[in-house]
C-alpha cells in the first residue's frame, strides 16, 4: 500500500496591469492522501481486491500561479471484513478491525511542497525557491482473517461439537466415528448469532500438539465458550480441567470468558449415573446443560436456553444485532489458505439463490 505524494510547490509571479513587479505568486501543493481501512460485515468484499496488487491513495495536486494551492489527494479507504488483522511487514505493527464502520489509520500522505510565495521576505522580495512534495508512506501489509463469533465450541475430539452445530444451525459439518473429523472451523447461524465449531483440542494443544493450536486464536475472538464434555469420559472433571488448562495456557483472556458446560451423549449412561455427573459438573461450572444428539426434546430445550443466554450476553455487551431473515446457513472457512476460494463459493451460492427466485 502507498499513501499519496504531496504536490510540488510552484514558482510564479503576479502579473497585473500597472504593476510591473507584482511579486511572487506561486502556490503550495496539496497534501498526499492517507490510507485507511474500514470494517464491514460483508466477507465477500475481499473478492474486489483479488486481482489488485497495489493500493495507492491519490497524490496531491501541484501548486499553481496566482497563489492557487493544489488540491489535497483523496484518501484511500479499503473495506475489509470485521475480524481482519493487518500486520505492517515493515514495522511489525498490528491493526485489528473489530467494529463495523470503524476507520483505522494505516499510512500518512506526503507533506505538501511550498510555492515561492512562502519564501517572500524583506530581504528576499523575488524568491525563486520552492520545495517538492514529500513521498507518502509505503508498506506491505499481511491480512489475516480471524473469526469473530458469538459462541465457540471447544472440547476433546468426538465430544459431539460438529453434530451439535448441525442440529442447531442446519449446518453440514462432517461427522464421523473417529477423532479429528473437523480439520477446519465450521460456522453456523443461529437466529443471527454466529456459532463456531473449533477442531478438537487435546492436552498440549497450546504448545502446538494436535490440530487445535492454529485455531485457538479464533476461539480468542468469541464472546463466550460452549465447553462440551462427553459422558464417554469416565472422569469428566479431569477432561474438563484439561481443556480449561489449555485455554488458560494459551490466553488468560480466553480463560476468563463466559463459559457454558454441556454434558453430551447422555444416552450412554443411566439416569442415576447422569444425576451424579450433573452434580459433579455443577462443582466445576454453575451453568450446566445435558444433551443427547438423538433426543430431539433435549436439543430443543438446550437450543431455547442457548438463545436466551446469547441475548443476555448481547445486552451486557451493549451491541445491536440486525435480525437476519431466511434459513440459517453455515459456511466453512479454511484459515490456512487465502480466502479467495471461500469467498468465490459463497458468491456463487448467492448468485444461484437469486437465479432461483427469478
Question: pLDDT band at residue 169, thresholds of 50, 70 and 90?
Answer: confident
In the chain, which ranges are E strands?
Answer: 35-40, 76-81, 84-88, 94-96, 103-107, 141-145, 151-155, 186-190, 193-197, 224-230, 258-264, 288-291, 330-332
Query: pLDDT digits over 232-259, tens only?
Result: 888 999 989 988 887 788 777 777 888 9
Give the single-character DSSP code of 60.
P
Q: Which CATH class is domain 35-145?
A: mainly beta
Give the single-character DSSP code of 269.
S
Nearest Cα residue to 98 out of 114, 118, 84: 84
Query: pLDDT digits over 344-354, tens only?
Result: 555 565 555 55
Distance between CA atoms of residues 208 and 346, nearest Å? 31
Count of C-beta atoms within a 10 Å radius of residue 41: 12
Q: Which CATH class is domain 151-337?
A: alpha beta
The pTM for the full model equals 0.58
Per-residue model confidence (pLDDT) at position 210:
46
Query: pLDDT digits over 132-151, tens only?
Result: 999 999 999 999 877 677 88
Domains of the chain, by residue range, sit at 35-145, 151-337
Distance between CA atoms of residues 328 and 170, nearest Å? 6
Phi (first) and psi of residue 114, to 5 degrees: -105, 140
Share of residues in the chain with pLDDT > 90 (%):
42
Per-range mean pLDDT, top range of 23-32, 216-225, 239-248, 253-262: 23-32
Whether residue 103 is predicted with pLDDT greater than 60 in this model: the reply is: yes
Q: How much is the average pLDDT of 309-333?
A: 57
Amino acid at each position: 500500500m502507498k499513501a499519496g505524494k504531496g504536490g510540488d510547490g510552484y514558482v510564479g509571479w503576479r502579473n497585473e496591469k500597472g504593476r510591473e513587479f507584482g511579486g511572487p505568486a506561486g502556490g503550495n501543493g496539496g497534501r498526499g492522501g492517507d490510507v485507511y481501512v474500514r470494517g464491514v460485515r460483508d466477507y465477500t468484499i475481499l473478492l474486489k481486491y483479488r486481482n489488485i496488487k497495489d493500493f495507492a491513495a491519490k497524490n496531491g495536486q501541484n501548486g499553481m500561479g496566482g497563489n492557487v494551492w493544489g488540491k489535497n489527494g483523496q484518501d484511500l479507504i479499503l473495506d475489509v471484513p470485521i475480524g481482519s488483522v493487518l500486520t505492517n511487514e515493515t514495522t511489525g505493527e498490528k491493526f485489528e478491525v473489530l467494529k463495523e464502520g470503524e476507520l483505522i489509520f494505516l499510512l500518512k500522505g506526503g507533506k505538501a511542497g511550498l510555492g515561492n510565495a512562502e519564501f517572500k521576505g524583506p530581504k528576499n522580495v523575488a524568491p525563486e525557491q520552492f520545495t517538492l512534495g514529500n513521498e507518502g508512506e509505503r508498506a506491505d501489509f499481511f491480512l489475516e482473517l480471524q473469526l469473530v463469533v458469538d459462541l465457540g465450541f471447544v472440547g476433546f475430539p468426538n465430544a459431539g461439537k460438529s453434530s451439535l452445530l448441525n442440529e442447531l444451525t442446519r449446518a453440514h459439518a462432517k461427522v464421523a466415528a473417529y477423532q479429528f473429523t473437523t480439520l477446519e472451523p465450521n460456522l453456523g447461524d443461529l437466529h443471527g448469532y454466529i456459532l463456531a465449531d473449533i477442531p478438537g483440542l487435546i492436552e498440549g494443544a497450546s504448545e502446538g500438539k494436535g490440530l487445535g493450536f492454529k485455531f485457538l486464536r479464533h476461539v480468542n475472538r468469541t464472546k463466550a465458550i460452549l465447553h462440551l464434555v462427553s459422558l464417554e469420559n469416565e472422569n469428566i472433571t479431569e477432561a474438563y480441567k484439561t481443556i480449561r488448562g489449555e485455554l488458560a495456557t494459551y490466553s488468560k483472556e480466553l480463560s476468563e470468558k463466559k463459559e457454558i458446560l454441556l454434558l453430551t451423549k447422555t444416552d450412554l449412561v443411566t439416569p442415576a449415573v447422569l444425576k451424579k455427573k450433573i452434580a459433579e459438573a455443577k462443582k466445576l461450572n454453575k451453568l450446566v446443560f445435558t444433551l443427547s444428539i438423538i433426543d430431539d426434546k433435549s436439543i430443543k430445550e438446550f437450543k431455547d436456553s442457548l438463545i436466551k443466554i446469547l441475548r443476555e450476553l448481547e445486552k451486557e455487551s451493549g451491541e445491536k444485532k440486525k435480525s437476519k431473515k431466511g434459513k440459517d446457513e453455515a459456511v466453512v472457512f479454511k484459515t490456512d489458505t487465502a480466502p479467495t476460494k471461500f469467498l468465490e463459493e459463497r458468491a456463487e451460492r448467492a448468485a444461484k439463490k437469486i437465479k432461483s427466485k427469478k
